[in-house]
Amino acid sequence: MTRSLTARIERYPVRGSFVIARGAKTHVDVVVAEIVDGALRGRGEGTAIYYRGESADTVLAQIERQADAIAAGAARADLLTLMPHGAARNAVDAALWDLEAKASGIPVWQALDLPRPQPMLTAYTISLGEPGAMEVAARAASGHELLKLKLSGEGDLDRVAAVRRGAPDARLIVDANEAWGGQDIERLAHALDKYRVELIEQPVPAGEDHLLDTVNSPIPLCADESCHDRASLGTLIGRYRFINIKLDKAGGLTEAHALVHAARLRGMGLMTGCMLSTSLGIAPAFYIGMQSQFADLDGPLLIEDRDGGMRFQGSDVWPPEPALWG
């Protein structure tokens, strides 16, 4: 029987509010790709990378254009040339991984030659807000071992100090979301060091990474918006000590797994992140998180997740069940 590819947009409300330097979200639209082969069905999910100009509609259209190629037998390796990196390729790539696991009976973690998955520490996000509000949010998240703070530039030291008051024992990482282009980054990093911040994500706008050439930060800097796939690495060496791998940026687990090895060869540390997404989108990212020093896979906690989602308890996320994916 010929394989068939279909896709659809699904909308999920945000729990409370999700605010970063670029604005607030009340819902997220994800795109689900399904590949059916006889009695087997593989699923994958992608969330549009809005700062790359993607939308759920453009992602859906990109997926639908691959229907003939999938019907003709296109494999995951073929997608690397058939589609650009981004959320559409991620969704189709994940659907193929899921289909292969079901057809072979070999779970994805074994296909990747990884150890048996165990519950994994994930960061929990504190949305951007006034210092007082972020302190309250940090107190409410006191059960989470690792907090990730969304920052915006002006007033960020006060925000971090407030979160530290609210969560005196938590580990902290901060995400500037490209907002520190006009800041004295080295001075700011030294000031943040006393609050035991462990990682600073994307301090400068993507494409302006040269601003970091003279920065001597006591806290490791991590490229997020500046790092997409393996082709991104060349401009990051010497400027960042970590990269944030997101499957929607990389264009799927296949490329992301290759990116892990390429980054390690260059001596770079790894963080695994996510867009706002359901557990179906987080499931394949879990296996990149297993290979990373930091994991930020709390997307399903920030929205009304799909039924049958992944298990989150305390500070940990559990591996996906086969009924969900992989």
Q: What is the CA radius of gyration of the chain?
A: 19
Rounded CA gap, 188 and 197, in Å? 11
Confidence label for 87 from pLDDT (cuts 50, 70 and 90): very high
Domain 120-317 has CATH 3.40.50.10790: no
- Residue in 102, 150, 194, 249 annotated catalytic: 150
Question: Dihedrals φ, ψ of 131, to 5°?
Answer: -50, -45
pLDDT of residue 113: 97
The pLDDT tens digits of the residues spanning 121-142 come to 999 999 999 999 999 999 999 8
- Residue in 25, 148, 194, 246 annotated catalytic: 246
Task: Provide the 3-class DSSP secondary structure of residue 118.
Answer: coil
Which CATH code for domain 4-107? 3.30.390.10
- Tell me the whole-structure pTM to 2 decimals: 0.93
pLDDT of residue 142: 82
Token duo for residue 111: 């296909």
The pLDDT tens digits of the residues spanning 139-152 come to 999 889 999 999 99
Rounded CA gap, 89 and 86, in Å? 6
Confidence label for 201 from pLDDT (cuts 50, 70 and 90): very high
Question: Could you tell me how far CA 226 lies from the centroid of its own chain?
Answer: 13
**Strand blocks (E) in 142-288:** 146-150, 171-175, 197-201, 221-223, 242-245, 269-272
Rounded CA gap, 310 and 320, in Å? 6
Averaged pLDDT of the chain:
95
The pLDDT tens digits of the residues spanning 18-32 come to 555 455 578 899 999
Percent of the chain with pLDDT over 90: 91
Element (H, E) at 26: strand 23-37
Size of the chain, expressed as the number of residues it contains: 326
Whether residue 276 contacts residue 47, with contact meaning beta carbons closer than 8 Å, is answered with yes
Q: How far is CA 1 from CA 14, 15, 71, 102, in A?
A: 40, 42, 9, 16
DSSP string, 123-158: -EEE----HHHHHHHHHHTTT-SEEEEE--STTHHH
Task: Provide the 3-class DSSP secondary structure of residue 1.
Answer: coil
Beta bridge partners of 27: 13
Rounded CA gap, 305 and 211, in Å? 39
Instruction: Using the predicted structure, report yes or no on whether residue 1 has a pLDDT greater than 80.
Output: no
Whether residue 131 contacts residue 289, with contact meaning beta carbons closer than 8 Å, is answered with no
The contacts of residue 295 (CB under 8 Å, 6+ apart) are 120, 121, 122, 123, 271, 272, 289, 317
Rounded CA gap, 202 and 239, in Å? 11
Each domain of the chain, given as residue ranges in start order, spans 4-107, 120-317
Higher confidence at residue 54 or residue 182? 54
Rounded CA gap, 253 and 261, in Å? 13
Element (H, E) at 4: strand 4-20
Catalytic residue at 150?
Answer: yes
The pLDDT tens digits of the residues spanning 42-70 come to 999 999 998 888 999 999 999 999 999 99
Whether residue 173 contacts residue 149, with contact meaning beta carbons closer than 8 Å, is answered with yes
Question: Could you tell me how far CA 151 lies from the centroid of its own chain?
Answer: 17
Asked if 4-107 and 120-317 have one fold, the answer is no
DSSP strand pairing (269-272 vs 242-245)? parallel
Catalytic residue at 148?
Answer: no
pLDDT of residue 130: 96
pLDDT of residue 51: 83
The pLDDT tens digits of the residues spanning 255-303 come to 999 999 999 999 999 999 999 999 999 999 999 999 999 999 999 999 9
Which among 251, 325, 289 has a CA at the least distance from the CA of 93?
Answer: 251
